[in-house]
Structure 1
């Protein structure tokens, strides 16, 4: 008898649970319908389904490692300067209107999207970039950080770093000389990645990894794994709960822990040296800690957030830009020859490059800018709409993020005629300046802190490559782009090298 009563109550409880789930599901569906009604006046492709929205289309666009940004370019061409993408109850708005880029990126009243950047702050529950300069959506807190860090990235302070730029780039040239003599193919992306990591660790934190010289370190792999984890986490934050992904999630956690542990030890050691009155290296960390003292300090965890941020924004992106540039130069002999003539004219046989040399490499500046137009390592950014607004006559309700893509706008003919042609003349000093459609380092108050650092380093490395070698891509490689959190060349820019004899001036 009592067993029958138990089963009866269990049945009622199951019915009640099913009813609750059903009511919650219906409420969720009602909310999704409300979102549709709120945003459906904005142009966009037909949804694949009521609940999933465009998720199947997005997944198909990323099959076989295809680039999702090419889909966004297609949608911008088809649906105009403002279009929407639906994913479940969320809406992503993309704008390719230059006036909106000017309004939202140049004006500090529009924060970064808290939903997106709060997810970037950690990976599968492990703090990664936290509330660092890239991810902090709180303008006041971000502004304090930026004020502390600006002096360390000023042009005047970075000019002291040319010795390191030259030294690390020379180690790369020595490695490449050996490869050239042995007629051995080399992945330039891999080696350039080692150089930029050697530079940022030394210039920013006084660390000597010496990766180019052959030293082994878990650091490069940790950065790559963290970036991969960041990309997967943005696409599917629930994958950590699936048994098949546990090994990968654990690897991401270990990589993030290695980065933060190394940073914690480095910062603690430098602080102790300051307390002891020891002579300090003139690197970025010293300058930041000195500035932080004047600004009533900076939380250690936030310092670690920026330690991780520097390796993503200050190493990976520069390596990718240089690799894309070399990749493109391999199929642009006329541009390469003109660049060589400029480098030979400015440098001749000299190995040490100084700031004055960099300022005289005008055509190289054009080449690097064109590379960033066509292959931006950081494809875009977003801002959160805090009040109802109108873009190109289309009403945008508040409470949504607007994405601005320099990748998409850089490949649109209405902004850059013949956009798929690599043409450095677009950035000739006398050429018309792109009007808010080119922002590889973002724009306005939240533009990239390290852009001067990045371009000084890029010019030193590229100058030496052009000065010393002729390079040719190994046949069979594609010019495809791979998204690993930043955009990089898919096939690694595998080249054969030939040492060249430089004519004196």
Structure 2
């Protein structure tokens, strides 16, 4: 009898704890959502899930950004989206873009961005020139801005041009012809993984190997996202995850050895000589930060891997361009005609490619490498503050979408049409309506390098080869709307034929 009563007491206790937890959950969700009562919000799926079920379904059907675009069109340019305990202000308001991207004191990048670690293995770290923040980040950015300044592109071009010519003459020439189909993302990965070597990161690895490794790392990132699930647990325990982590460790080990060697070389040289290559500048930038001295080489490696991860943005940018060109052959032929009448001499000669630049600008509008971004509001006293038209609590996540503002029909005429001519006649978009390289203090350092290398790549390839699409009708390549950084679903297949 006593045992029965004891068992009942335990069950009652468990039941009471369960009920109390449920009440606590409901009250917590209700209270935190009440803090955003003045902001428009779409109808909830249900109280506990908020909008999460609709968002998950949109991700599965690859209409995630379409969903948010429709919500913003119906309910307002800034809306509240609730996913369980997460409360997110989503905005496509250019005025909000300006505040969020310019105010570094109030807004920071999230600490749990997925490109910083791979199931616990460090990739780019928390203090890299791209992902960091605060005083040390400002020091790094100031030093590295010298290398990426527009005035320095002529020097970078002189290193990149022969590298590209050699790639076309040797590597690519062996692959084309005889009906062979190439996957453009893979080819562009090889090209853009070689550019860092041209500007100071030589001796790391074969560009094709680096390109494949970076692609593999980036493909692993989505498998780290979202709530814990059986699929995620099985992957984290699987062979594929272990192989990727081992690959990252091997890359970091090799880069660390290179960093130590380069540091010693710099210390033994004339102290008055300032480094001019990207490797030397990254070492100098980290040495001037308030980091643990015994971890300096790790921070340098973080920055080098950041460089390679960001290079993949141009890979996707050109691959996505060719997806659009498949259905806009008149744009392709006009660009090719300009490129084949053009003589490449030095960096300044690239400015003659006026139509090609319009095509690139329009491609960056159609599918920017960063489809959406995230910032975390942190107020000085921890209390609410006015941001734009709304009072927001501290720790509010704010998401913004370059892709959606680039496709906003109130801003752009026929936004879903690839139209390079919209950039004619000195056209200049309204502030914060065109942000392929972001804007404000965290605007992309490498935008001039990106434009230079993309033009150089197009010239080098299209002056030698005709590109014919061989895209799958069943699995057409498309932009993945579910990720913040652009990913392309399915292969971007083209046949390259030597142009005589």
Distance across 2 between alignment mates of 1:93 and 1:185: 44
2:118 to 113, 119, 123: 123
SS at 1:109 equivalent: coil
Is structure 2 residue 312 aligned with structure 1 residue 312? Answer: no
Deviation at 1:420, TM superposition (A): 0.9
SS at 2:87 equivalent: strand
Distance across 2 between alignment mates of 1:490 and 1:21: 43
> 248-257 or 36-45: which moved more?
248-257
Specify the alignment match of 2:359 in structure 1.
367
Change in CA separation of 1:125 and 1:16 when aligned onto 2, cut-off 3 Å: farther
Change in CA separation of 1:429 and 1:129 when aligned onto 2, cut-off 3 Å: farther
Deviation at 1:195, TM superposition (A): 0.8
SS at 2:49 equivalent: coil
Specify the alignment match of 1:220 in structure 2.
211
SS at 1:205 equivalent: coil
SS at 2:327 equivalent: coil
Is structure 2 residue 281 aligned with structure 1 residue 284? Answer: no
Deviation string, structure 1 residues 312-340 (Cα, Å, up to 9, x no partner): 11x21011111122232333233223323
2:369 to 367, 377, 386: 377
Deviation at 1:378, TM superposition (A): 1.1
Any conservation in 2 of the 1:339–1:364 contact (CA below 8 Å)? yes
Deviation at 1:381, TM superposition (A): 1.7
1:152 to 147, 152, 169: 147
Change in CA separation of 1:390 and 1:169 when aligned onto 2, cut-off 3 Å: same
Specify the alignment match of 1:47 in structure 2.
44
Deviation at 1:418, TM superposition (A): 0.2
Distance across 1 between alignment mates of 2:278 and 2:358: 28
Distance across 1 between alignment mates of 2:18 and 2:232: 21
Deviation at 1:500, TM superposition (A): 2.2
What is the TM-score with the length of structure 1 in the denominator?
0.86
Any conservation in 2 of the 1:240–1:249 contact (CA below 8 Å)? no
Change in CA separation of 1:183 and 1:240 when aligned onto 2, cut-off 3 Å: closer
Is structure 2 residue 205 aligned with structure 1 residue 242? Answer: no
1:73 to 69, 75, 81: 69
Any conservation in 1 of the 2:107–2:376 contact (CA below 8 Å)? yes
* 1:86-485 aligned within 5 A: 86-114=82-110, 116-117=112-113, 120-131=115-126, 132-136=128-132, 138-174=133-169, 175-207=171-203, 209-211=205-207, 217=209, 219-236=210-227, 242-243=233-234, 245-247=236-238, 248-277=240-269, 283-293=277-287, 299-313=296-310, 315-347=311-343, 353-385=345-377, 386=379, 387-391=384-388, 393-428=389-424, 430-477=426-473, 478-482=476-480
SS at 1:497 equivalent: strand
Any conservation in 1 of the 2:282–2:303 contact (CA below 8 Å)? no
> 278-287 or 375-384: which moved more?
278-287
Any conservation in 2 of the 1:98–1:435 contact (CA below 8 Å)? yes
Deviation string, structure 1 residues 235-260 (Cα, Å, up to 9, x no partner): 23666973454215434433432332
Change in CA separation of 1:76 and 1:204 when aligned onto 2, cut-off 3 Å: farther
Any conservation in 2 of the 1:228–1:485 contact (CA below 8 Å)? no
Deviation at 1:379, TM superposition (A): 0.9
Specify the alignment match of 2:488 in structure 1.
489
> 491-500 or 26-35: which moved more?
491-500
Is structure 2 residue 53 aligned with structure 1 residue 61? Answer: no
Distance across 2 between alignment mates of 1:280 and 1:181: 46
Any conservation in 1 of the 2:108–2:375 contact (CA below 8 Å)? yes
Distance across 2 between alignment mates of 1:243 and 1:148: 43
Deviation at 1:302, TM superposition (A): 2.6
Any conservation in 2 of the 1:228–1:484 contact (CA below 8 Å)? no
Distance across 2 between alignment mates of 1:249 and 1:52: 30
What is the TM-score with the length of structure 2 in the denominator?
0.87
Deviation at 1:366, TM superposition (A): 1.4
Any conservation in 2 of the 1:380–1:442 contact (CA below 8 Å)? no
Change in CA separation of 1:25 and 1:425 when aligned onto 2, cut-off 3 Å: same
Distance across 1 between alignment mates of 2:275 and 2:364: 33
Distance across 2 between alignment mates of 1:39 and 1:181: 60
Deviation at 1:9, TM superposition (A): 5.9
SS at 2:35 equivalent: helix
Distance across 1 between alignment mates of 2:123 and 2:236: 19
Deviation at 1:270, TM superposition (A): 1.1
Query: Size of the alignment, in residue pairs?
Result: 484
Change in CA separation of 1:7 and 1:166 when aligned onto 2, cut-off 3 Å: farther
Distance across 1 between alignment mates of 2:367 and 2:285: 35
Change in CA separation of 1:142 and 1:293 when aligned onto 2, cut-off 3 Å: closer
Any conservation in 1 of the 2:119–2:236 contact (CA below 8 Å)? no
SS at 2:237 equivalent: helix
SS at 2:100 equivalent: helix
Distance across 2 between alignment mates of 1:408 and 1:116: 24
> 283-292 or 319-328: which moved more?
283-292
- Give the gaps of 5 or more residues in structure 2: none
Any conservation in 2 of the 1:379–1:487 contact (CA below 8 Å)? yes
